[in-house]
Amino acid sequence: MAETSAQTPAATAPVVILNAPQLAENIGAVARVMANFGLSELRLVNPRDGWPQERAWASASGADWPLNAAKVFQSVSEAIADLRLVYATTARPRELQLPILTPRRAAADLRQATADGLRTGLLFGGERAGLETADVALCQAVVTIPIDPRFRSLNLAQAVAINGYEWWTFALDAPPPAFRDGAPPADSATLLGFYEHLERELDAAGFFHPPEKTPSMVQNLRSALGRARFTDQEVRTFRGVVTALSRGRGKVLEKLAKKKAGEEAAK
């Protein structure tokens, strides 16, 4: 990790993920500010008008490389699957119990994670819809740009610019040594696999009632567990916990029931 990050800052800079971006011009403007602030990896989740689009290149003023290499995904969870620290930029208050950070504090965290060799990302919502709470729940914190409450309509590229600026400015300071000397946090795909395992078992156990509350219950479980930043080993351990709880007790009762059945049959 140290070797690659020594080559160019961009190699380990946060990935910029745009969820459902609408205007190609804005995607191009995002690429331009990414280039201004040392970011290079762009991922697009369901761009409204498809991809690629010429108008994006036209508005990037020569910052073509993030656009040329941009990857398209079908869902936020796929787009962040390989990332180990993802912050969602949103101004809307959420029901989630996630830390709310300024761009400056977020940049410090992202620098630290990068110094620790972790792949990171910044997730932004589309121009109109922003982010679904279910997608925010997959992230480890929310970044909220301090803004005049009398006029909150911030352009997408401006939101990327402010975060990119803080990331780049922070570069001037060398981060202190790694804060965690053990294993890194699991990537998002691993976490999602664990969440889905837990939720399947909870569903089988009749935990989600009333049914219409399932999405918000799921989001609350995910965001609360996400804060722990489990390692791969810990995810395996907690998958074992879920399995043990859902199957183990079952087996105990199964045995008891069999024993009883045997006794009754013997009568």
Judged by CB under 8 A, does residue 69 bind its own copies?
no
Order of strands across the sheet that contains 141-143:
71-73, 42-45, 15-19, 120-124, 85-89, 141-143, 100-101
Judged by CB under 8 A, does residue 138 bind its own copies?
no
At residue 5, the 3 state secondary structure works out as helix
Region from 48-56, 72-80, 117-125, 204-212 binding its own copies, contact rule CB under 8 A: 204-212
Question: Count H helices, E strands: the chain?
Answer: 12, 7
Upstream peptide bond of 47 is cis (omega within 30 degrees of 0): no
Judged by CB under 8 A, does residue 260 bind its own copies?
yes
Ramachandran bin of 127, using left for φ above 0, alpha for ψ from -120 to 50, beta for the remaining angles: alpha
Nearest to 132 by CA among 176, 164, 88: 88
Judged by CB under 8 A, does residue 11 bind its own copies?
no
Task: Please say whether the beta carbons of 4 and 118 come within 8 A.
Answer: no
Residue 74 CB, shortest distance to its own copies, in Å, is 29
Q: Which of residues 116-135 bind its own copies (CB under 8 A)?
A: none
Judged by CB under 8 A, does residue 258 bind its own copies?
yes
Q: Which of residues 21-40 bind its own copies (CB under 8 A)?
A: 29, 32-33, 35-38
Judged by CB under 8 A, does residue 146 bind its own copies?
yes
**Among the listed residues 172, 210, 211, 212, the single contact to its own copies using CB under 8 A:** 172
Give the dihedral sign, CA 200/74/123/100: negative
Closest CB to its own copies among residues 73, 165 = 165
Judged by CB under 8 A, does residue 58 bind its own copies?
no
Judged by CB under 8 A, does residue 261 bind its own copies?
yes
Residue 44 CB, shortest distance to its own copies, in Å, is 20
Closest CB to its own copies among residues 75, 237 = 237
Q: Which of residues 90-109 bind its own copies (CB under 8 A)?
A: 97, 99-102, 104-105
**Among the listed residues 3, 150, 211, 212, the single contact to its own copies using CB under 8 A:** 150
Residue 125 CB, shortest distance to its own copies, in Å, is 16
Judged by CB under 8 A, does residue 265 bind its own copies?
yes
Nearest to 246 by CA among 202, 207, 212: 202
- Tell me the residue length of the chain: 267
How far is CA 233 from each of CA 80, 178, 190, rounded to the nearest angstrom? 20, 19, 11
Residue 199 tokens read as 């939720």
Judged by CB under 8 A, does residue 207 bind its own copies?
yes
Judged by CB under 8 A, does residue 234 bind its own copies?
yes
